[in-house]
Chains A and B, each alone.
Chain A
């Protein structure tokens, strides 16, 4: 099953396009990081998947062909928006009861047990909780309906490092136990490598990169070498991004043949997730997206430099 599938998806607010020509197939069972600068269209894409917006053009389906916002999609998707909307004047326990009454599927005991595990006081008013506790309460509400897909918009943005670790640790434990798929957006790149196994890079409303992290890392290298990189042209190496530092040049390159030796005079190192994300974001025209045939194409992902 594919948790999110879209073709030619686009969204326009008045005159500005927030998202253009977005084609994606995300299989289930992944923890997907959606990365990009502010205004890249991350929230738009997530809101379209949650069924809060309608596309201007193209189409999007969730959970194996369901229409976003349909009954089946609403039951199967847990969604926490950026500002984690909770009522500040309610006690945490009452907030939970309210959410329970608004959902068709709901496991109240499970939610209470989770809050107790995380030591979130249910008798305290929501606005008196710490940022980390509020984030955990919002996540608990989203999980209590036992979704197949959890969509989180910037869940880590306002959490301190310890709260971030605790939030992600408890989320990953849910993934391990329930096998649910997670799609979350973030502009913090450094911590993604441990958590995400599927990466989507979105920039200026367009997709730049999408795929399983391991596969993406396997076909990219960082080359360090002489100032003049023109020698590489002859070898038809696709350069994603070039960074010059004095006498050295750092290149993020795509390997057509993984395991091929480094070109002469260049040192070849494995690329990190951060290298990938920053390399692509700095060069908005660079793209590497799976073709329509996806896994069927033996030639690997289509390359459009």
Chain B
């Protein structure tokens, strides 16, 4: 790929030579999570985008770099990158690597801290009510699923209205310029 082994016969000169651009992030794995390995990689890239560790144009680790640090099958990394491309977040450039090509809504650190605080308050209430950690996790997962389902339906319903509003406002803007 991009790493030039050259004619480095002397062991001294063959020390690890990082590629010209290194990626801002490195991957890690949680074998106990039960989440498929490729999805763990996808989630980590998304999370890095959310908190600002990655931005548009940044290079993701090469397949070789990822494989070398995690000791995983290269196809797993390729699958993760394909998934990121499919989600519109990354684009592969032949011979150069995979680069971030999209953004996710970023949540500021202060906002995250506030959200965390309100979540902790809720956790305290749940704990007082006698829920154990599995119960809390199950309740949260179920609520999140319901919420997302409901939100998606709502959006689908509102989508038509919103498009209509946008058309209208564009029309009025154009007419304003003319006047």
Residue of A nearest to B12 (CB): A116
Q: Does B121 contact A (CB under 8 A)?
A: no
Q: Does A144 contact B (CB under 8 A)?
A: no
Q: Convert A165-176 into 0s and 1s, putting 1 for each residue whose CB lies closer than 8 angstroms to a CB of B.
A: 110111011011
* Bound CA span A173–B70, Å: 10
Q: Does B8 contact A (CB under 8 A)?
A: yes
Check A117/B71 contact, CB under 8 A, given A109-B8, A173-B64.
no
- How near does chain A come to B144, taking the closest CB pair, in angstroms? 20
Flag if B16 contacts A172 (CB, 8 Å). no
Flag if A172 contacts B11 (CB, 8 Å). no
- How near does chain A come to B155, taking the closest CB pair, in angstroms? 26
Flag if B64 contacts A177 (CB, 8 Å). yes
Q: Does A86 contact B (CB under 8 A)?
A: no
Flag if B71 contacts A172 (CB, 8 Å). yes
Residue of B nearest to A172 (CB): B67
Q: Which of A122, A165, A194 contacts B73 (CB 8 A)?
A: A194
Q: Does B63 contact A (CB under 8 A)?
A: yes
Interface of B is mostly: helix
Check A197/B75 contact, CB under 8 A, given A110-B5, A112-B11.
yes
Check A112/B9 contact, CB under 8 A, given A169-B71, A173-B68, A176-B74.
yes
Q: Does A97 contact B (CB under 8 A)?
A: no
Flag if A172 contacts B5 (CB, 8 Å). no
* Bound CA span A31–B73, Å: 7
Flag if A169 contacts B69 (CB, 8 Å). yes
Q: Does A113 contact B (CB under 8 A)?
A: yes
- How near does chain A come to B51, taking the closest CB pair, in angstroms? 26
Q: Does A289 contact B (CB under 8 A)?
A: no
Flag if A116 contacts B14 (CB, 8 Å). yes
Check A169/B14 contact, CB under 8 A, given A109-B7, A194-B76.
no
A residues within 8 A CB of B3? 177
B residues within 8 A CB of A112? 9, 11, 14
Q: Convert B100-120 into 0s and 1s, putting 1 for each residue whose CB lies closer than 8 angstroms to a CB of A.
A: 000000000000000000000
Q: Does A278 contact B (CB under 8 A)?
A: no
Residue of A nearest to B1 (CB): A177
* Bound CA span A189–B69, Å: 21
Q: Does A90 contact B (CB under 8 A)?
A: no
Q: Does B15 contact A (CB under 8 A)?
A: yes
Which B1-23 residues sit within 8 Å CB-CB of chain A? 1, 3, 5, 7-9, 11-12, 14-16
Q: Does A75 contact B (CB under 8 A)?
A: no
Q: Convert A102-131 into 0s and 1s, putting 1 for each residue whose CB lies closer than 8 angstroms to a CB of B.
A: 000000011011011100001000000000
Q: Which of A113, A172, A176 contacts B8 (CB 8 A)?
A: A113
Given contact pairs A109-B8, A113-B8, enumerate 5 new A-B contacts (beta carbons under 8 Å). A117-B15, A165-B71, A173-B64, A176-B1, A195-B71
Query: Can you report 14 residue pairs joining A to B where beta carbons are below 8 Å apart?
Result: A109-B7, A109-B9, A122-B11, A165-B71, A168-B71, A169-B70, A172-B71, A172-B74, A175-B73, A175-B74, A194-B31, A195-B72, A196-B73, A197-B73
